[in-house]
Structure 1
Amino acid sequence: MGTRITADELYDEMCRVIGDIVMTFHDYNIEPKHIVIADALRTAMASDHGEGSELTLKAMALAIKTLET
């Protein structure tokens, strides 16, 4: 049974994850469109080999859902 994640923790982690991707895109001169960010998050989740925390994975999934709506 995992630890309880609060809405504030999830929101903060979602913002951190999106911010990290936007800054990486900036470094590579990639325009950070919402669909591109969602695709990058989906790719990162698919290639995760159990290294991401429960909070980070939930935040990534929520960010994808939010960006695709």
Structure 2
Amino acid sequence: MLIVGMINRYKNGNRTKEDELYREMCRVVGKVVLEMRDLGQEPKHIVIAGVLRTALANKRIQRSELEKQAMETVINALVK
């Protein structure tokens, strides 16, 4: 449902904060999946959520508010 709504808004040419969040969520998940593949791990949803939780807990890395929100949203979506 989230994807359908994003596609409909994107077709209209209007980019909203939700669109930016969705794009950042896709970037974050894609990065984790590719890194896991490189390490020979199977990218299961619970493992992806765990990787994101660990990364988000690392306060030494500065992240934009959009990236933090995207990571939190992905974690919540994966553990439902």
Q: Above 0.5 in TM-score? A: yes
- Show structure 1 runs of 4+ deviating over 3 A: none
**In angstroms, what is the RMSD of aligned CA positions?**
1.3
Q: Larger % of helix: which?
A: 2
- In structure 1, list runs of 5 or more residues that go unmatched: none
Q: Percent identity?
A: 49
TM-score scaled to structure 2, two decimals?
0.77
Aligned position for 1:49: 60
TM-score scaled to structure 1, two decimals?
0.89
Structure 1 position 12 matched with structure 2 position 23: yes
Secondary structure in 1 matching 2:43: coil
- In structure 2, list runs of 5 or more residues that go unmatched: 1-15
Q: How many residues align?
A: 65
Higher relative contact order (CA 8 A, sep 6+): 1
Give the 5 Å matches for 1:1-69.
6-49=17-60, 51-69=62-80
Structure showing greater radius of gyration is 2
